[in-house]
Amino acid sequence: MLHELRIYELRVDGVAPYLKLFETVGLPIVQRYMKLVGYWRNVSGNPNGVTHLWAHESFATRQAAREGLANDAEWRDRYLPRALPLIERQHVTLLQAMDFSPIR
């Protein structure tokens, strides 16, 4: 199992609009391709941060999911033009769980 940790730093005035947009427009599209494990908003540190964790069976299935999403017209035309202006920075880490990890 491969997990994809995505951390976003949003514009100060962009947190509420981003969360609403992702919940109502982005998430239904992304879930066509990937499984959401968890989604969090920072309650300490940077108040403009959100973190999400996605599960993939392998690097290959992750690549296929990302390609499917990139080629999804609804994602490209309906979600991204509204979401990208709200994002200041993005950090993506791919994680491989150890055999003893409760999440695998």
**Which CATH number belongs to the domain containing residue 7 in this structure?**
3.30.70.100
78: tokens are 């309906």
Quick check: is 60 in a domain? Answer: yes
Instruction: Answer yes or no: pTM beyond 0.95.
Output: no
Give the whole-angstrom CA distance, residue 80 versus residue 85.
9
Mean of the per-residue pLDDT values of the chain? 96
pLDDT band, residue 53 (cuts 50/70/90): very high
Is residue 92 scored above 80 in pLDDT?
yes
In the chain, the number of structural domains is 1
pLDDT digits (tens, 9 = 90+) for 66-84: 999 999 999 999 999 999 9
What pLDDT, on a 0 to 100 scale, did the predictor assign at position 96?
93
pLDDT at residue 20 tops 90:
yes
Is residue 103 in some structural domain? no
- Specify if 41 maps to a domain: yes
Domain that holds residue 48: 2-95
Report CA-CA distances (Å) from 50 to 5, 14, 17, 25, 104: 11, 11, 13, 17, 22
Task: Identify whether 34 is part of a domain.
Answer: yes
* 102 belongs to a structural domain: no
How many Cα neighbours within 13 Å face the side chain of 47?
A: 3
Q: In this predicted structure, what is the pLDDT of residue 8? A: 97
Query: Does some domain include residue 42?
Result: yes
DSSP bridge partners of 49? 9
Q: Please report whether residue 84 resides in a domain.
A: yes
Residue 104: the pLDDT is 75
